[in-house]
Structure 1
């Protein structure tokens, strides 16, 4: 079992240091009162070629759109990571807490990787308090998404956090 994945978002350097320590060049950062938007290419990834993310500290969520390569498309509109997202003046820090939500707009939201969260807690990699908070954040998000027709943009717009994406419909595309 791996420890919680950590990432650094360096606004000044226009880089994103991924959990493996690889520094990636970022095309765009945008800071809003409710979060941080990042858009960057994903060189070396067979499954997808571009990533858009919103870090939403108040919700403990990172919302992602993966721009899949042909043949690797997935039945998802958004992929949400649950964790801690800490803003700073020039750097933001993300610590993943294992749980993920797969949002299929208008249809459903699927909770994933519960087994990883439980295993990480058993292994002492995530405290009981952090594990409970991750579960609460996921449950809150699932409830809110269900109340908005499993539409991430509609939910967050209703809470005063309008998200914008390179693709205004939020659809994944190559």
Structure 2
């Protein structure tokens, strides 16, 4: 973790940033990413337990597309990526700890730094705890929201682990069954 600059700003600390916010407009079939880029979405599917999204990554050198489930009950976004040949990584699911809000046909997620890498049947790894702590130290996130993010993470790790490191089994057990392409 980089040290904070002497002037008290966060400009020189590369990985420190406010929580990332994304918007998903079901009517417009679009996703506005944290940098404000508008992306086309091939499919949204709204269910009683959440929102499914399938989106290509045109021009991305490694990933051809990804699909995500946004699950408000569990405060997570579960993503499965499809890789171009020769670029596959050794995990099956990427789980973001997020706050999820929906107003009409627009869903908003606020990413609270913590992520999980799941290798089905093998392991679950927590990432970016240092970013969460730095965000609190730099007043980008309240201690209460950080605690909520940590509790959400612990719950997900416990659930995934208890179900043989299988996200889909845990989601089904938790009342959030998912279907994927």
Question: What TM-score, normalized by structure 2, do the two folds share?
Answer: 0.89
> How is 1:107-126 mapped onto 2 (pairs within 5 angstroms)?
107-126=122-141
> How is 1:69-80 mapped onto 2 (pairs within 5 angstroms)?
69-80=84-95
> How is 1:10-89 mapped onto 2 (pairs within 5 angstroms)?
10-89=25-104
RMSD: 0.9
Unmatched segments (≥5 aa) in structure 2: 1-15
Report which structure shows greater RCO (CA 8 Å, sep ≥6).
1
Match of 2:160 among 132, 145, 153: 145
Runs (4+) of structure 1 exceeding 2 A deviation are: none
Higher Cα Rg, which structure: 2
Q: CA deviation at 1:47?
A: 2.1
Could you tell which deviates more after superposition, 68-77 or 17-26? 68-77
* Paired residue total: 166
Q: CA deviation at 1:44?
A: 3.0
SS at match of 2:60: coil
Unmatched segments (≥5 aa) in structure 1: 167-174
Contact map agreement 1:57 1:87 (CA 8 A) in 2: no
> How is 1:145-164 mapped onto 2 (pairs within 5 angstroms)?
145-164=160-179
- Which residue pairs with 1:171 in the alignment? none
Contact map agreement 1:83 1:95 (CA 8 A) in 2: yes
